Amino acid sequence: MELGQYLWTSLGAFLTLSVFSFLYKDNPMYKFAEHLFVGVSAGYFVIILWHDGLVTNLFGRLADGHIYKLWLDSTKWWYIFPGILGLMMFTRFSHKWSWVSRWPVAFYIGIATGLSIPLEMSNRVNRQLYAMMEPVNWDSFMGSGWLDMGAGYSDIIVFVGTVSALIYFYFSKAHTGVFGGAAKLGIWTLMIGFGASFGFTVMARISLLINRIQFLDKNWKRNSFDFTNENFNPLYQALFWLIILIFLVYAVSEFLKYLKNKNASSVKSA
């Protein structure tokens, strides 16, 4: 790894450890990292919106026109209007003219909601209902082996579970009697679903931590001690230990502060 790349990786490692230091306590290093992230990600988003959005979809289409003619001489001059509608969004910041921003909002809310109605109804509701009403596998009702998901009884559990969970979500009728019993079965089914989600969530969260460990080890620590690398520099190790030292000093100072407070509180109570 070259020196330049190593310095950037070390910065990434320092910021990673700064964020992890929040687990002990909020501290200036964490605050610095947090505020830096907010600023840099906002700046990144502006650039992506400009280069990937406005330049290609708006200015690119008006490129054969001239700015001093307000692009009216362009072959696709009608693209000026979404530009104007977009600029109207910025009137939101004025008390007097904020009503103007309702026009572009109306445009895209209308289109987005209109697009969603038939497609969401078709794909989330209809197709799921069709899939729920698949024929039961009576030929192999008990299945083969332990908990066979292709067995007939599994098909019945899916159907009964879905219907009872839908019944649970129907709050316009009191959950009493047979209806209440079905709702109870529904909440049991939902709890199993939530438990499965929780199991996957634990795996997901741990994966995030594992990735950071892999980054700190493979990208940073190994390159700090990679003596076979032709670009290796003693500065790599110095920087590695300096960053570790910063966090060690912080940890030791916090521990000493904790001991001091503990002694002070024990003297007070005595």
Partner 1 sequence: MNWFERFMKLDRRWIYLFLITVCLLAYYSDFTVPTIREKETGAIYNFIDSLPAGEVIFVAIDYDPSSQAELHPMTYAIIEHAFRKNLKVVFTALSQNGPGMADQAIHDIADSMRVEQTYNGVSYPAREIANGVDYCFLGYKPYYALVITAMGQDFRTPFPADYYGTPLDSLPLMKKLHNYDDISIVVEVSSGNISDAWISYGQGKFGFPLAMGLTGVMTAQYYPFLQSGQVMGIMGGLLGAAQYEDMADNPGLAKDGMRVQLPAHLVIILFILIGNIGHFASRKNRKNVQS
Partner 2 sequence: MRRQLPFFFVFLFGTFMVVQNFVPHEYSERAKEFLSDWTIIIGIFALALGIWSLIHVSLDKINKRKPNWEYSFVTLVGLVAMIFFGFTANVSGSWLTYFAALMVLLISLWLLVQGILGAGAGVTKAKEKFFAGIGLAAIFTFIALYDKSWAFHFYTSEGLENPLFKHFFSDIMVPLQATMFALLAFFISSASYRAFRARNLLATLLLIAALIVMLRFTPGPWGDLISKTSTWVMNVPNLAAQRAIVIGIGLGMVATALKVILGIERGYMGKG
Question: Which one, 114 or 234, has the nearer CB to partner 1?
Answer: 114
Binding pattern for the stretch 212-241 against partner 1, x by CB under 8 A and - elsewhere: xxx--x------------------------
Helix (H) or strand (E) holding 147: none
Distances (CA, A) of 223 to 2, 73, 192, 238: 10, 57, 46, 12
Contact between 92 and 101 under an 8 Å Cβ cutoff? The reply is yes
Least distance to partner 1, CB of residue 123, Å: 4
CA–CA gap between residue 253 and residue 259 (Å, rounded):
10
23 binds partner 2 (CB under 8 A): yes
CA–CA gap between residue 22 and residue 26 (Å, rounded):
5
Q: Burial, 201: exposed, middle or buried (Cβ in 10 Å; 0-12, 13-18, 19+)? A: exposed
Residues 95-114 that bind partner 1 (CB under 8 A): 108, 111-112
Contact between 65 and 73 under an 8 Å Cβ cutoff? The reply is yes
Contact between 187 and 168 under an 8 Å Cβ cutoff? The reply is yes
Task: Output the CA torsion sign for 145, 149, 151, 152.
Answer: positive
Q: Which residues contact 38 (CB under 8 A, 6 or more apart)?
A: none
When binding is defined by CB under 8 A, the residue of 165, 182, 239, 243 that contacts partner 2 is 165
Residues 10-39 that bind partner 1 (CB under 8 A): 23-24
Contact between 66 and 73 under an 8 Å Cβ cutoff? The reply is yes
Residues 184-243 that bind partner 2 (CB under 8 A): 186-203, 205-206, 208-209, 211-212, 215
When binding is defined by CB under 8 A, the residue of 3, 25, 27, 44 that contacts partner 2 is 44
60 binds partner 1 (CB under 8 A): yes
Q: In the block, which residue shows the tokens 């920087």?
A: 239
Stretch that binds partner 1, among 168-176, 201-209, 227-235, 238-246 (CB under 8 A): 201-209
Residues 237-266 that bind partner 1 (CB under 8 A): none
CA–CA gap between residue 188 and residue 162 (Å, rounded):
11
CA–CA gap between residue 203 and residue 190 (Å, rounded):
20
When binding is defined by CB under 8 A, the residue of 29, 161, 223, 236 that contacts partner 2 is 161
Question: Which one, 197 or 237, has the nearer CB to partner 1?
Answer: 197
15 binds partner 2 (CB under 8 A): yes
When binding is defined by CB under 8 A, the residue of 118, 135, 177, 234 that contacts partner 2 is 118
CA–CA gap between residue 10 and residue 233 (Å, rounded):
14
93 binds partner 2 (CB under 8 A): yes
Residue 167: name the closest of 151, 183, 181 by CA.
183
Question: Which one, 196 or 238, has the nearer CB to partner 1?
Answer: 196
Question: Which one, 46 or 238, has the nearer CB to partner 1?
Answer: 46
251 binds partner 2 (CB under 8 A): no
Interface residues with partner 1 (CB under 8 A) are 23-24, 41, 44-45, 48-49, 51-53, 55-57, 60-61, 108, 111-112, 115-116, 119-120, 122-124, 127-128, 130-131, 158, 193, 196-197, 200-214, 217
